[in-house]
Amino acid sequence: MLVHFRIDDRLIHGQVTVAWSKHINSQRIVVANDEVAKDDIQRSLLPLAAPPGVEVRIVPVSDAPENTKDKRSLLLVKNPRDALTLLDLGLDAKEINLGNMGFAQGRKNLTKSLSLSDEEIRQLKEIEGRGVRVYFQMLPQDRRVPLGELVR
């Protein structure tokens, strides 16, 4: 069962594996990204960052809904486009946690660890328009900042 859905361009890393996995008591981490699913190096390295005893599945976006059904799952995607695609595929999500999205050309800094392009903001607003709560929160103990407080 999907227990946490996070957009984080770093995918599996210390904050996710240590803080979020423990906080939600996940049994599985599902990384959903078409490019990563085809990359043998990332497929071999990402599981090394997972906590002991937590299964890791790295799948194309289209396979993610099926891979979050039978175990307490933390679902990770790299960008809002993949999150929107998952909703289009019928993934039942009530909320999406924005994590790190680094600065790049075409993105504006909203916090020190969250930068978004106009297109990504549009996609996140579309997600909210579907009744899914979108918020920024790096660690479980941090305050949730609703998307509306970050973008107007």
Indicate the burial class of 149 (C-beta count within 10 angstroms; 0-12, 13-18, 19 or more): exposed
Q: Which residues are catalytic?
A: 13
Q: Are 93 and 65 in contact (CB under 8 A)?
A: no
Q: Are 147 and 120 in contact (CB under 8 A)?
A: no
Q: Please report, for residues 10, 61, 96, 151, the alpha-carbon distance to residue 3 in angstroms, rounded to integers and kept in the order given.
A: 19, 17, 10, 26
Residue 73 Ramachandran class (φ > 0 left, ψ -120 to 50 alpha, else beta): beta
